Amino acid sequence: MVRWMALSGLLAAQIGLAAPVYKVIGPDGKISFTDQPPASAVTQEIKAPVNQAKVVELERDPKVAAVTVYAKQIIVETGSRFCTMNAPSTTHAVLAARDAWRERNVELTEKKNRVMARLMSFDERTRLAQRSERENEAVLDKMRAAPLAEKLKWCQAVPVNFAAQELDPSRNPTLVRALREFDAK
């Protein structure tokens, strides 16, 4: 099953990465990337980084780190709302995973707010929020159109996905350092 991760395109655009690539998470949890849209109705388009070193270099920038945390926070919040509305049997586990994510990332989300307030104009933050909403809605439209069994399967996997390194900024030492050092400057 292919799972979505909202706003990855937003994140990639914010940090200036290259051409579109589609991320596919298979039923066995293995991640693969392709330049062709997968057949599934639920896909994730991202921008392919030039190389991992470039991504790490970009993540050292406090503004990029803040936007990264912002994107992941929106993914967690939106995923939680989606599952409580579309797969009610998963509500308890999904909300517990969301709350655990919030607890692990409270320091980073607070620092993200300070960094964005200091390094981004009100207009930039507004455009970011508007673009986030548009991209999020596009992903949600695909999820809403998915068969109920696919929605349920995705929502059952949410607790594991919310704790995965990919969605948990607290597990990215480069981002943590960039945001912590920003306040120290």
- For the chain, 185 residues long, give each residue's pLDDT as a single digit of tens: 334 343 344 344 443 333 445 566 666 555 555 555 665 544 455 554 445 555 556 667 898 889 989 989 999 999 999 999 999 999 999 999 999 999 999 999 999 999 999 999 999 999 988 888 888 888 888 888 999 999 999 999 999 999 998 889 999 888 889 998 886 55
Give me the pLDDT at residue 55, please. Answer: 55
CA distances from 89 to 3, 72, 95 (A): 19, 24, 11
**CB under 8 Å to 128, separation ≥6 — which residues?**
10, 14, 67, 70, 120
Say how far apart CA 174 and CA 178 lie, in whole Å.
6
Give me the pLDDT at residue 76, please. Answer: 93
Paired tokens of 87: 């797969």
Say how far apart CA 71 and CA 47 lie, in whole Å.
14
Q: If DSSP states are collapsed to H, E and C, what string results for the chain?
A: CCCCCCCHHHHHHHCCCCCEEEEEECCCCCEEEECCCCCCCCCEEEECCCCHHHHHHHHCCHHHHHHHHHHHHHHHHHHHHHHHHHCHHHHHHHHHHHHHHHHHCHHHHHHHHHHHHHHCCHHHHHHHHHHHHHHHHHHHHHHHHCCHHHHHHHHHHHHHHHHCHHHCHHHCHHHHHHHHHHHHC
Q: What is the sign, positive or negative, of the torsion defined by CA atoms of 178, 11, 70, 74?
A: negative
Give me the pLDDT at residue 3, please. Answer: 42
CA distances from 84 to 77, 92, 125 (A): 11, 8, 28
Give me the pLDDT at residue 5, please. Answer: 42
Say how far apart CA 154 and CA 149 lie, in whole Å.
9
Q: How, if at all, do strands 31-34 and 44-47 pair?
A: unpaired
